[in-house]
């Protein structure tokens, strides 16, 4: 659904090539909408902000919350506050994963779930944790079609790709 929208663009590590559990979710997205990034999360979110200001609907992908922590400056101080200091209302759909623990546990620095902490920090971005498969399509549809001037963070459980 997101891949077919004319204004979406997908950014992140392993979006053009396989490499994370989220890579397989981009199979039907046209290649010209996929922008591969190096491991530079703050830069990735900064480019996301610029694309949003240009009227695009960026979909930055962070396979783990622990990686999105590195982009917190751009997320909290810029994207979230943009409507307050500029009057601009952008639409960004941020995909973030709670790192998988199976079949190999990557240790504590890769499996954090910071959903509640980010809900406390963000005023103009809604954070939705997708705990059940039935939530996925309606939540992405809401994020794409929303007209309230808010961006959305959709939190996915990486282990669920193999379990549910």
**Residue pLDDT, tens place only, 103-157:** 666 666 677 899 999 999 999 999 999 999 899 999 999 999 999 989 999 999 7
Q: How far apart are the first and last CA of the chain?
A: 20
Full-model pTM:
0.91
pLDDT at 17: 74
Q: Quick one: which of 26, 9, 31 has its CA closest to 161?
A: 26
- Give mean pLDDT, residues 20-26: 72
For the purposes of burial, counting CB atoms within 10 Å of the CB of 44, is it exposed (0-12), middle (13-18) or buried (19 or more)? buried
How much is the average pLDDT of 31-40? 93
DSSP state of 76: I
- Report whether 140 contacts 94 (CB < 8 A): no
Domain spanning 2-163, CATH class = alpha beta
Q: Predicted confidence band at 162 (pLDDT cuts at 50, 70, 90)?
A: low
Percent pLDDT > 90 in the chain is 73
Which one-letter DSSP state was computed for residue 28?
T
Q: Are 111 and 99 in contact (CB under 8 A)?
A: yes
Lowest mean per-residue pLDDT among 6-10, 21-25, 54-58, 141-145: 21-25
Q: Is the pLDDT of residue 45 over 70?
A: yes
Q: Of 122, 112, 111, which Cα lies nearest the Cα of 152?
A: 122
| Residue 70 CB burial class (10 angstroms; 0-12, 13-18, ≥19) | middle
How do the domains of the chain map onto residue ranges? 2-163
């Amino acid at each position: 659904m997101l891949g077919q929208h004319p204004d979406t663009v997908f950014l992140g590590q392993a979006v053009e090539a396989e490499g994370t559990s989220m890579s397989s979710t981009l199979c039907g997205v046209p290649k010209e909408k996929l922008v591969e990034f190096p491991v530079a999360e703050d830069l990735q979110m900064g480019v996301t902000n610029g694309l949003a200001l240009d009227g695009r609907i960026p979909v930055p992908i962070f396979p783990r919350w622990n990686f999105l922590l590195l982009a917190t400056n751009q997320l909290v101080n810029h994207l979230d506050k943009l409507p307050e200091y500029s009057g601009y209302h952008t639409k960004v759909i941020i995909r973030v994963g709670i790192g998988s623990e199976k079949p190999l546990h990557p240790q504590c620095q890769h499996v954090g779930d910071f959903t509640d902490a980010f809900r406390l920090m963000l005023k103009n971005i809604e954070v939705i944790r997708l705990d059940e498969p039935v939530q996925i399509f309606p939540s992405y549809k809401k994020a794409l079609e929303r007209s309230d001037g808010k961006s959305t963070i959709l939190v996915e459980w990486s282990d669920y790709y193999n379990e549910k």
